[in-house]
Amino acid sequence: MTTSVHAARRLRVVRAGRVALLAAAVFFVATTLAGLRDTSIIVNGVDRWLGNCFSLAAGVMCLVRANLVRGERAAWVAIGAGLLCYGAGTIYFTTRVANRNPQLSPSLADAGWLLFYIATYVAVILLMRKRVSRFHPSVWLDALVGALGVAALASGLAVGAIGKVRATNMSTVELNLAYPLADLMLLVLVVSVFGLLGWRLERVWYLLGGSLIIFAAADTVVVGEVASGHYSPGGPVEVLWALALVLPAYAAWQRPSREKTEGLVGWGVLAIPAIFAIAALGLLVFGAVTRLPPVTVTLAAATVLAALVRTGITFAEVRQLAETKLQARTDELTGLANRRGFFERLNGLDSGAGAGARRFALLVLDLDRFKEINDSLGHPVGDDLLKLVGRRIAAALRPEDLLARLGGDEFAVLLEDADAAVAKMVAERVLATLEGPFEVGAVTLHVDASIGAALYPDDAVAASVLLQRADVAMYAAKAARSGVEYYQPGVDVHTPDRLDIIEALRSGLGEDQLRVHYQMKIDLRTGGCHAVEALVRWEHPTKGLLPPDVFLPLAEHTGLMRTLTLEVLGLALGQSRRWRDAGLDIGVAVNLSASNLLDTAFPTEVADLLALHGVPARALEFEITETALMLDRIRTAAVLMALREMGIHIAVDDYGTGYSSLSYLRELPVDILKLDKSFVMHMDSDPGAAAIVQSTVGLAHSLGLRIVVEGVETESTMRRLAEFGCDLAQGFYLGCPQPAEELTPLLWHRNDHRLSAGCAALAVESVEVEVEVEAGRDAVAEPVRAGHTWT
């Protein structure tokens, strides 16, 4: 509080001083103008001493400002010191020179006056640097153009003035020419600030510029009078000097700027070189009809040449700026529009849309399991794949459509003048063009994509909301594996929780939060249970037990499936060990993600886990989907062969829903086919589905493979599967997923019943621990229906 009071008092004192200074200036101007009629007032009047003291008072005002206000202190100290030097020179001239010789002549007073220009030059540079964070190299070339232009004009002015003066006055005229030249140089510097920062600057620059203009006008008048031999102290020149000295003091007490600018605002920066280039051309044209000194012509030509160089640099900078602007909106990897360019186009459509405006659609495309390819094969392979994907998508679009890469493996397509039918046509065409294999170096890759579509204005009327809803639809397509999904109101209810779930899962892996529920697989020849399927659950710290459709699609999309699969494998092998210790000789089967199949170090990790839990390799079975097999068949075959050589069995999961190519059954080390439940569940009502199941069973047996079917929901389905010769079956009719402690008594019951019936012992089958990748499949364990039998 005390500090603010003192500051307020100081400010009142300074304001009073400024008022007194202004009053003195007004009094001085009035008496000087009166002296034009009565010279005795000038000779004996008080106004001469007031004029002499103006620079001293102005200097003191600048120094007081520097002492009271911290901002820009050095600059105002420099100006204050310069004004004091100017005042000292004026007093010396009045007391020692003017009374003896009213004509101007070189003296010690000139030293004080010239020091003012040096100090002011330093102050202007300090003030400019305070406001401009950086100088472009071309600014120095602008300064060269200005300096050469000033020199050319000054040399012409000097020759014209010197040509009219007597030899005895030559030194005086040459010295006095330095003052308008210095004024002009300072004025060029101040005007350059306007070119750098724009014309809407704080008042200090207008006051300083006005002061220098007045100085230049007064000094030019003096040079003419000295050259003609008619100079006498007093008159209007004294008025101009007084005003020029008062303005810096008022400039010192303007509010300083608190912000810096990058400089080079608009075309104003070219004002100085343009003005002096035109002036130099004028001198050259004038020299064609009038004899000018060689030095003037040389300086004018140099000014024009420097201005031409500056113009060339300007055009190069403009072209570079255009290229930089284009690069700022272009994805460096694919050459497509980037996120910034896409949003500019989208926001342009959004801001230009109104009542009756045209419709447009937005597609968001994301590659499935791209992170696994990127992590396993390396970023160069991933980058090359993205380039090829971008080219294929672009080939499937219309000429007016905009394709952009938003980041990673996410692309966006903006369809102008498009409705739902056009969006569907383009989306299906994009998916079709991505179906073929991609040759990336020596690797052949297959990729799938999920597309989400949203329409303007049906789904949203704001660009950001439209993109969010297309993203929601894309995640729905990824979860459902449907390829394309369109935004439906209400499907994004849990969108805000997605990031929380991902981060919680990332931190929860390895923290004993995963749970495995087992579902029995029944041997249809004996009725015994030699295998179970286990579905992973997640014990969320706050949300409780979550089904797989909530977190597995997110884990796959964010690259957490590899870690999750290894943790589930450890849990399964641990349970297998406990069953073996209890007398149940049951193996385990675990689904592999695509990242495991592309990881050459994975077989070593499996061997370590088998050794850790003491489970033989023959009791372990891995299940892989057809889609995962097709990502990179060469690398996948190498990993599977390494696992097979260890004695581990390989099964193809969800057979019939992917590529269903017979070639990989011949090329890859496969032992078991697991037919997808979509065929089995419709056997009772669809003869075609029953025919597919029967033919698949025959195919598997003819290839020497075992066959497992999912989705057994009725007794009639189970009997027909037994008639077809199916090996193993599972479904809610045969048993629901349960924790291991609840399932163990049922395993004893089924195996004891089989032994008591005198059935021959079978080879050790497998307990399948399946990490569900399909969202919604067997998401919640259903209770065993009443009336189900266990025989």
Question: When comparing pLDDT for 40 and 75, which is higher?
Answer: 75
d(CA 99, CA 87) in angstroms, rounded, equals: 17
Beta strand 402-407 pairing with 410-416: antiparallel
- Give the active site residue among 72, 372, 533, 710: 710
Residue 631 amino acid letter = L
Task: Tell me how far CA of residue 47 lies from CA of 31, 69, 237, 385, 508, in angstroms.
Answer: 6, 32, 13, 86, 88
Is the distance from CB of 212 to CB of 186 less than 8 angstroms?
A: yes
Predicted confidence (pLDDT) per residue in 345-386, tens digit: 888 776 554 444 578 899 999 988 787 777 777 788 888 999
The sign of the dihedral angle between the CA atoms of 225, 226, 232, 238 is positive
d(CA 220, CA 690) in angstroms, rounded, equals: 109
Q: Provide the token pair at 224.
A: 């003419």
Give catalytic status of residue 416 as yes or no: no
Confidence of residue 284 (pLDDT cuts 50, 70, 90): confident
To the nearest 10°, report the CA torsion of 226, 230, 234, 239: -60
d(CA 655, CA 705) in angstroms, rounded, equals: 13
* Cis, bond preceding 496 (omega within 30 deg of 0): no
Q: How many helices (H) and strands (E) does the chain have?
A: 28, 17
The sign of the dihedral angle between the CA atoms of 631, 637, 639, 644 is positive
Q: In sequence order, what are the residues at sequence separation of 6 or more whose Cβ sits closer than 8 angstroms to the Cβ of residue 129?
A: none
The sign of the dihedral angle between the CA atoms of 206, 212, 214, 220 is negative
**What is the arithmetic mean of pLDDT over 184-188?**
71
Neighbours of 499 (CB within 10 A): 10
Task: Tell me how far CA of residue 140 lies from CA of 124, 269, 309, in angstroms.
Answer: 16, 12, 12
CA atoms within 13 A on the CB side of 652: 27
Predicted confidence (pLDDT) per residue in 223-245, tens digit: 666 666 666 666 667 777 777 87
Whether residue 502 is predicted with pLDDT greater than 90 in this model: the reply is no
User: For residue 485, how far is the Cα from the chain centroid?
Assistant: 28
d(CA 73, CA 79) in angstroms, rounded, equals: 10
Q: In sequence order, what are the residues at sequence separation of 6 or more whose Cβ sits closer than 8 angstroms to the Cβ of residue 19?
A: none
Question: When comparing pLDDT for 9 and 739, which is higher?
Answer: 739
Predicted confidence (pLDDT) per residue in 107-159, tens digit: 788 888 888 888 888 888 788 777 765 555 666 666 667 667 766 766 666 55
- Using only C-alpha atoms, the chain has a radius of gyration, in whole angstroms, of 45
Is the distance from CB of 366 to CB of 409 less than 8 angstroms?
A: yes
Whether residue 392 is predicted with pLDDT greater than 70 in this model: the reply is yes
pLDDT at residue number 645 = 92
Is the distance from CB of 714 to CB of 677 less than 8 angstroms?
A: no
Q: Provide the token pair at 7.
A: 């500051």
211 closest CA partner among 180, 240, 244, 174: 244
Whether residue 208 is predicted with pLDDT greater than 90 in this model: the reply is no
d(CA 113, CA 108) in angstroms, rounded, equals: 9
Is the distance from CB of 695 to CB of 662 less than 8 angstroms?
A: no
Strand order in the sheet with 449-456: 402-407, 410-416, 360-367, 449-456, 484-486
Confidence of residue 706 (pLDDT cuts 50, 70, 90): very high
- Residue 40 phi/psi, 5-degree rounding, is -65, -30
pLDDT at residue number 772 = 43
Question: When comparing pLDDT for 398 and 633, which is higher?
Answer: 398
Whether residue 266 is predicted with pLDDT greater than 50 in this model: the reply is no
Q: In the chain, what percentage of residues exceed pLDDT 70?
A: 68
- Residue 657 phi/psi, 5-degree rounding, is -105, -10
Mean pLDDT for the chain overall: 75
Residues paired with residue 486 on neighbouring β-strands, in sequence order: 453
Predicted confidence (pLDDT) per residue in 25-62, tens digit: 555 555 555 544 444 444 444 445 555 666 787 788 78
Predicted confidence (pLDDT) per residue in 569-599, tens digit: 999 899 989 988 988 888 888 888 877 887 8
Please name the residue that has the structure tokens 């990332």.
Answer: 506
Neighbours of 748 (CB within 10 A): 14
534 closest CA partner among 734, 281, 766: 766
Beta strand 649-655 pairing with 672-675: parallel
Is the distance from CB of 126 to CB of 72 less than 8 angstroms?
A: yes
Question: When comparing pLDDT for 168 and 220, which is higher?
Answer: 220
**What is the arithmetic mean of pLDDT over 706-726?**
90
Per the document, the length of the chain is 791
Residue 680 amino acid letter = V
Confidence of residue 765 (pLDDT cuts 50, 70, 90): very low
d(CA 576, CA 617) in angstroms, rounded, equals: 12
Please name the residue that has the structure tokens 């500090």.
Answer: 3
Instruction: Write out the H or E segment, with its range, that includes residue 360.
Output: strand 360-367
d(CA 631, CA 640) in angstroms, rounded, equals: 14
Task: Tell me how far CA of residue 234 lies from CA of 176, 210, 218, 240, 612, in angstroms.
Answer: 17, 21, 12, 11, 107
Confidence of residue 777 (pLDDT cuts 50, 70, 90): very low
Give the highest mean pLDDT range of 13-17, 218-222, 754-758.
Answer: 218-222
Predicted confidence (pLDDT) per residue in 609-668, tens digit: 999 999 999 888 888 887 777 666 777 888 999 999 999 999 888 887 755 556 667 777
pLDDT at residue number 527 = 84
Please name the residue that has the structure tokens 């850790």.
Answer: 612
Predicted confidence (pLDDT) per residue in 301-316, tens digit: 877 787 777 777 767 6
Q: Provide the token pair at 309.
A: 């160089």
Query: What is the C-alpha end-to-end distance of the chain, expressed in Å?
Result: 92
Is the distance from CB of 316 to CB of 155 less than 8 angstroms?
A: no
3-state helix, strand, coil in the chain (%, to 5): 60, 15, 25
Question: When comparing pLDDT for 334 and 765, which is higher?
Answer: 334
